[in-house]
Amino acid sequence: QVQLQESGPGLVKASQTLSLTCSVSGASISVGDYYWSWVRQHPGKGLEWIGYIYHSGNTYYNPSLESRVSISIDPYEGQFSLNLRSVTAADTAVYYCARVETAVDFDSWGQGIPVTVSS
């Protein structure tokens, strides 16, 4: 059974870069018909898709965040990462990593990591 675990700082200063890593166990991220994705949830709000990466390294991002976001993958370590640049208080949210059956559903999620952007 695949498991995902987010890690990274829970507090980031405004204008800096938010960097998170998702460690995947129980499945290889270098094979299979899966995307590896990031989703966030602002306090008390709904789910917002950030972007995804395929094991080949191909990425696709939410157009509303595309100018500030990058996702990378390290198949050897079984990890994929999120970088969100020039953060503001509006980026304060719980960030989830998830596995996506290609162009279908998000079938496995990490527990989420809360990130606060401070001024």
Partner 1 sequence: SYDLSQPLSVSAALGQTATITCSGTSLGSKLVHWYQQKPGQAPVLVIYKDNIRPSGIPERFSGSNSGNTATLTINRAQMGDEAAYYCQVWDVRSVIFGGGTKLTVL
Query: Site residues (CB under 8 A) for partner 1?
Result: 37, 46-49, 52, 60, 62-63, 96, 100, 103-107, 109-112
Least distance from C-beta 74 to partner 1, angstroms? 22
> Cβ distance 17 to 85 under 8 Å?
yes
Q: CB count, 10 Å around CB of 4?
A: 22
Least distance from C-beta 112 to partner 1, angstroms? 5
Structure tokens at 37: 């994705």
- Cβ closest to partner 1, residue 52 vs residue 80: 52
Least distance from C-beta 63 to partner 1, angstroms? 7
Which whole-number Å values give the CA distances from 26 to 4, 29, 92, in the listed order?
Answer: 9, 10, 30
- Cβ closest to partner 1, residue 88 vs residue 111: 111
User: Nearest 10 degrees: CA dihedral of 101, 106, 109, 112?
Assistant: 130
- Cβ closest to partner 1, residue 14 vs residue 104: 104
> Cβ distance 114 to 11 under 8 Å?
no
Least distance from C-beta 96 to partner 1, angstroms? 6
- Cβ closest to partner 1, residue 16 vs residue 60: 60
Structure tokens at 56: 């080949």
